[in-house]
Copies of this chain bind each other. A is one copy, B any other.
Amino acid sequence: MAKIRVPGFQFAGVACGIKKSRKRDLALIFSERPATAAALFTTNSIKAAAVLVGMKRMRRGLVQAVVVNSGNANSCTGPRGVRDAEAMCREVGHRLGIDPRLVIPSSTGLIGVPLPMTKIRQGIAKAVSILSPDSFTHAAEAILTTDRFVKITTTSCLLKGRKVVITGMVKGAGMIAPNMATMLAYILTDAAVEPRCLNAILRRSAEETFNRITVDGDMSTNDTVLFLANGAARNSPVRQGSGEERVLREETQRVMKELALKLVEDGEGTTKVVEIRVDGVRSIAEAKKIAFAVANSKLVKTAFFGEDPNFGRIMVAIGCAGVAISPEKIDVFFNHVCVVRKGVGLASKEREASRILKRPSFMVKIHLHQGKESASVWTSDLSHEYVRINSAYRT
The reply to whether the CB of A328 lies closer than 8 angstroms to some CB of chain B is yes
Q: Are A325 and B45 in contact (CB under 8 A)?
A: yes
Interface of A is mostly: loop
Question: Are A316 and B175 CB-contacts (below 8 A) given A218-B298, A343-B76, A392-B306?
Answer: yes
Which A350-395 residues sit within 8 Å CB-CB of chain B?
382-384, 386-388, 390-395
A85, chain B: closest CB distance, angstroms: 15
Q: Return chain B residues, CB-CB under 8 Å to A313.
A: 111, 218
Count this chain's copies in the assembly. 2
What 0/1 pattern do residues 204 to 242 of A give for CB contact below 8 A with B?
Answer: 000000000000111111000000000000000000000
Please measure, in the bound complex, the distance between the C-alpha atom of A360 and the C-alpha atom of B388, giving whole angstroms: 19
The reply to whether the CB of A116 lies closer than 8 angstroms to some CB of chain B is no
Which A59-115 residues sit within 8 Å CB-CB of chain B?
73, 75-78, 110-113
Please measure, in the bound complex, the distance between the C-alpha atom of A73 and the C-alpha atom of B327, giving whole angstroms: 16
Q: Are A299 and B218 in contact (CB under 8 A)?
A: yes
A94, chain B: closest CB distance, angstroms: 28
Please measure, in the bound complex, the distance between the C-alpha atom of A308 and the C-alpha atom of B111, giving whole angstroms: 13
Q: Most chain-B CB neighbours within 10 Å: which of A306, A320, A347?
A: A320
Residue on B nearest A308 in the bound complex, by CB? B394
Residue on B nearest A73 in the bound complex, by CB? B312
Q: Are B75 and A312 in contact (CB under 8 A)?
A: yes
